[in-house]
């Protein structure tokens, strides 16, 4: 049916309608391309025999920025220890030096780290830092130590932070000698002597923390130990190593052999008067 208005359409309106008609199919086409069929994660699909649209990851796939958990940088453990862990997981009765397939690693990580059945002094923890420590790393380590550890372990690393004053378990000292004037007032709650690892003593090994391998410190920060919580969520792995480097510096500050000091420092130390506080083990 035609109306007066339609008949009276101006040329301009006609051109506009034509242009609109020409544009419509093009728009439809673009919409289709940008709105293609797809599946959301976990959506069902009959495309694959397992009924899932998403494909499972191939075995051994890792995130680009991910370190393998057996990498000493994120484990603190030697590769040999990982081989033993895998072996135990695969077969508890097995010869512990036989490596096991990587697929068993999920369950393996919960197993105890130290097994005394393993012959002759197994190296469980790495003894060297997984990257070269620069003085910048030490500065960063000092800063992070002050933030995350000093509240409990004290600025000197003698376990005399503020926290125990309110009833928290007194942390292990990193030193075997008394280095704080108020330190004697605190009775050591553990049977292990001052500065000796409580964790190692559980394995019947008497070792001063000064001599405990850096990988052990890494594990303590990562997983916590006894009354100490885990700091893996707060401190990324590289910073954990920097903190450990700073703890080593603290330990060295209280236990350096005179002969290893640079000559200038040795002269200064020798010239310094030994006062009553120092004799008593106090920290000036």
Catalog residues that contact ligand HEC under the rule CB under 6 A: 148-149, 151-153, 163, 169, 171-172, 190, 197-200, 209, 217, 220-221, 225-229, 231, 243, 247
> In the complex with ligand HEC, which residue's Cβ is closer, 199 or 237?
199
What is the C-alpha separation between 210 and 202, in angstroms, rounded?
A: 17
Residue pair 237/211 in contact by the 8 Å Cβ criterion: no
Q: Is the dihedral of CA 270, 271, 272, 273 positive or negative?
A: positive
Question: Which of 135, 193, 127, 180 lies closest to 153, judged by CA?
Answer: 180
Alpha carbons within 13 angstroms on the beta-carbon side of residue 44 total 2
- Measured in degrees and rounded to the nearest 5, phi and psi for residue 101 equal -60, 150
> In the complex with ligand HEC, which residue's Cβ is closer, 87 or 235?
235
> In the complex with ligand HEC, which residue's Cβ is closer, 202 or 280?
202
Q: Nearest approach, Cβ of 161 to ligand HEC (angstroms)?
A: 7
Question: Which of 124, 128, 254 lies closest to 199, judged by CA?
Answer: 124
What is the C-alpha separation between 125 and 216, in angstroms, rounded?
A: 6
> In the complex with ligand HEC, which residue's Cβ is closer, 129 or 217?
217
Q: Nearest approach, Cβ of 128 to ligand HEC (angstroms)?
A: 17
What is the C-alpha separation between 150 and 142, in angstroms, rounded?
A: 10
> In the complex with ligand HEC, which residue's Cβ is closer, 86 or 145?
145
Between CA 153 and CA 160, with CA 156 as vertex, the angle to 5 degrees is 40
> In the complex with ligand HEC, which residue's Cβ is closer, 108 or 152?
152
Q: Nearest approach, Cβ of 100 to ligand HEC (angstroms)?
A: 28
Q: Nearest approach, Cβ of 68 to ligand HEC (angstroms)?
A: 23
Q: Nearest approach, Cβ of 83 to ligand HEC (angstroms)?
A: 24
What is the C-alpha separation between 51 and 42, in angstroms, rounded?
A: 10
> In the complex with ligand HEC, which residue's Cβ is closer, 100 or 150?
150
Tokens 């050591």 correspond to what residue?
Answer: 188
Q: Nearest approach, Cβ of 257 to ligand HEC (angstroms)?
A: 23
Residue at shortest CB range from ligand HEC = 226
Q: Nearest approach, Cβ of 197 to ligand HEC (angstroms)?
A: 4
């Amino acid at each position: 049916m035609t109306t007066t208005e339609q008949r009276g359409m101006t040329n301009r309106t006609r051109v506009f309608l034509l242009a609109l008609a020409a544009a419509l199919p093009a728009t439809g086409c673009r919409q289709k391309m940008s709105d293609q069929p797809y599946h959301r994660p976990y959506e069902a699909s009959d495309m694959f025999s397992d009924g899932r649209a998403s494909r499972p990851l191939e075995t051994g796939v890792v995130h680009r920025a991910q370190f393998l958990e057996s990498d000493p940088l994120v484990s603190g453990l030697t590769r040999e220890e990982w081989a033993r862990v895998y072996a135990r997981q695969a077969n508890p009765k097995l010869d512990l030096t036989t490596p096991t397939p990587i697929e068993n690693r999920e369950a393996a990580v919960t197993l105890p780290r130290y097994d005394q059945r393993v012959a002759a002094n197994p190296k469980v923890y790495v003894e060297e830092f997984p990257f070269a420590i620069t003085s910048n790393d030490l500065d960063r380590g000092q800063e992070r130590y002050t933030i995350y550890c000093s509240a409990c372990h004290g600025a000197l690393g003698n376990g005399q932070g503020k926290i125990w004053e309110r009833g928290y378990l007194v942390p292990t000292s990193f030193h075997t000698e008394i280095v704080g004037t108020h330190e004697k007032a605190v009775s050591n709650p553990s049977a292990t002597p001052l500065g000796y690892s409580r964790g190692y003593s559980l394995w019947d090994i008497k070792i001063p923390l000064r001599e405990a391998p850096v990988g052990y410190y890494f594990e303590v920060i990562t997983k916590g130990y006894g009354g100490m919580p885990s700091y893996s969520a707060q401190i990324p792995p590289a910073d954990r190593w920097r903190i450990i480097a700073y703890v080593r510096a603290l330990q060295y500050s209280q236990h350096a052999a005179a002969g290893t000091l640079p000559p200038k420092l040795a002269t200064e130390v020798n010239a310094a008067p030994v006062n009553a506080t120092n004799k008593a083990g106090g920290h000036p």
